Amino acid sequence: MDTVLKIAPADREAYRAAKDRWDSIAKPLEGLGTLEEAVQRIAAVQGSADVDIGSRCVVIMCADNGVTAEGVTQSDSSVTALCAAAMADGTSSINRLAEVYRAEVLVVDVGMESDVENERILSRKISRGTGNIAAGPAMTRSEAERSVQIGIDIMRDLKDRGVKIAAAGEMGIGNTTTAAAVAAVLLGRSPGDVTGRGAGLDSAGLKRKTAVIEKAIRINRPSPDDPLGVIAGVGGFDIGAMTGMFLGGGIYGIPVIIDGMISAAAALLAYRLAPAVRAYMLASHSPGEPAGRLLLAEIGLRPVIDAGLHLGEGTGAVMLLPVLDGALAVYRSAHRFADIGLERYKKLV
């Protein structure tokens, strides 16, 4: 894990140059709001005001969670394999969006119970699902480290292929339970504050899910000061691998888009491991699960989209891409104050 220490600060000069370019456009200052900040942050990561997000990839980390044995979900782990196969075959929701928004979809098996015979699934399986966090740890510490390293290595490979921006997605039945457990520990909040209905639990199911998370934290006693220990105790292989993606974005200089609450939990884990990685993250939307906004606020990030999204698979993260494309069209070619002989607007305090 020594590689996480090699995260350089983002380029502040490029950030300022991008802001100056925005301010030169004949429009109200910060007229595109959070989108202007997003473009400036990408410029800082890329070290140039000439922002390029032409080559983009959404990575879907697929894994199963032993906690499903506690009745915290509507469906069992077989659905993870079915959905992974559909994504690999190009027929799932994320594929339709990615096709329109010109993003590659990379499906990775980091810990599914089943072996899906599909050459378009990248096999990085650590184990056939995690342990049941209500009965003991999700995984060993070495497995947690391995999951994080998988994400880092995938970002290295994307860098080698010329990918300019990545999105962190996931698929795994039971992972809103593990992510809520991670959030409760990292945020110091009660499970009741951060646990939602996932894919559609009724009130009785939500109460059972919250009690399972309380039990998991009581049994495993993860410390918020030990992010790897949190992954090992109450996390999942998908969460660990996405944590590695965010760290890898910092190491290899690629902005990584956060999707929903599960992705945001991984982002906060990465931030706790290496605070400098915050500069390499973009928040796409306000997650529907209760912990979502809390996790993003803890990192200090503002989402661009607020549309009640909670589909998963990286769909919300990919939806940020066309919004950024639109902002960049203005950034690159809209007329400027100098073009029309008008004095620049000044920020008045």
The gap from C-alpha 132 to its chain's centroid, in whole angstroms, comes to 24
263 within 8 A of 251, measured Cβ to Cβ: no
Determine phi and psi for 346, rounding to 5 degrees. Answer: -120, 145
161 within 8 A of 52, measured Cβ to Cβ: no
User: How many secondary structure helices (H) and strands (E) does the chain include?
Assistant: 13, 6
Residue 17 C-beta-side C-alpha neighbours within 13 Å = 15
Query: Per the residue annotation, which of 36, 170, 289, 313 is the catalytic one?
Result: 313
Give how far Cα 49 sits from Cα of 32, 227, 259, 303, Å.
Answer: 17, 34, 25, 22
Q: What is the SS3 assignment for 59?
A: strand
Structure token pair of residue 144? 């947690």
**Element (H or E) spanning 99, and its range?**
helix 93-100
Tell me how far apart the alpha carbons of residues 132 and 47 are, in angstroms, rounded to a whole number. 44
Tell me how far apart the alpha carbons of residues 80 and 87 are, in angstroms, rounded to a whole number. 11
At residue 127, what is the residue type?
S
As beta bridge partners, residue 62 has: 109, 171
Q: Which ranges of 104-140 does DSSP label H, i.e. alpha helix?
A: none
Helix/strand/coil (H/E/C) assignment for every residue in 298-314: HHCCCCCECCCCCCCCC
Catalytic status, residue 313: yes
For the annotated catalytic residues, the residue numbers are 313
